[in-house]
Amino acid sequence: MDLTPPTLTGRFVRLEPLTELHREPLRLVANDPRIWEVNSVSGYGSAFETWFTNALSPVQRIAFTVRRLADDVIVGSTSYLDPVPLHKRVEIGHTWYRPDCWNTTVNPECKLLLMTHAFEVLGMNRVSLVTDLLNKRSQAAIAKLGAVREGVLRAHMIVQGGRIRDSVSFSIVAAEWPTVNERLQTRLAGLQM
């Protein structure tokens, strides 16, 4: 299984493998505290360097920069996390976008591109998405994708500020992918940036 990060291009966004060239453009995008209110880590202000350095590390993470095609502007980041080739599973996470991209075509198309690659190229059996129990906006977006809510992982991680986070786990499995794919394709066909 080749886990080399590809460039994935859709109608509205392009996912580019994260490189050093993305550092300064992403720093500008990340400089909005609203993005980080309910994220497990922060990329705001002085925390950006740690976030970026961790995102560049290929250990347990394949990070992408999200570029909006309409104006060629970088609008956020997303990643494959904890790939387990033996069991053919991966998580999509560490996703964040600038607020003007919330509730637009950006997130559904990013997820469509990542899941298409995971299921159809990498041959994954399972794609999971895990979010903070407090992050209702993220939970709604994940459910809208067609992912199945599996449950709450109690005291799952320690997040910024030392808070002990409960996480909500969602997944899509290979047998569900054709239906989820069709649903996302239909949803995006009716949308404009």
For residue 34, what is the domain's CATH number? 3.40.630.30
What is the rounded average pLDDT of the residues 10-30? Answer: 96
Q: Look at 31 and 57; give whichever has higher pLDDT.
A: 31
In this predicted structure, the answer to whether residue 40 has a pLDDT above a threshold of 70 is no
Give me the mean pLDDT over the 15-34 stretch: 95
Q: 119-147: per-residue pLDDT in tens?
A: 999 999 999 999 999 999 899 999 999 99
Q: Residue 15 falls within a domain, yes or no?
A: yes
Decide if 1 is inside a domain: no
| pLDDT band at residue 38 under the 50/70/90 scheme | confident
Locate all alpha helices (DSSP H) within 19-131, ordered by sequence.
23-30, 48-56, 106-116
The answer as to whether 3 is a domain residue is no
What lies within 8 Å, CB to CB, of 119 at 6+ separation is 127, 174, 177, 181
**Sheet (strand 148-158) strand order:** 8-9, 13-17, 61-68, 73-84, 89-97, 126-132, 164-173, 148-158
Phi–psi pair at 50, nearest 5 degrees:
-65, -45
Is residue 79 included in any domain, yes or no?
yes
CB 99 within 8 A of CB 35: yes
Q: What angle do CA 123, 97, 32 make, to 5 degrees?
A: 150
Domain with 134 in it:
8-189
Q: With cut-offs at 50, 70 and 90, classify the pLDDT of residue 106.
A: very high
In a domain? residue 160 = yes
**Number of independent structural domains in the chain:** 1
Distance between CA atoms of 179 and 76, rounded to whole angstroms? 27
Average pLDDT over residues 36-57: 83
Q: What is the distance between the alpha carbons of residues 62 and 116, in angstroms, rounded to a whole number?
A: 16
The first and second tokens of residue 121, run together, are 């190229």
Whether 141 maps to a domain, the answer reads: yes
Q: Which residue has the higher pLDDT, 77 or 39?
A: 77
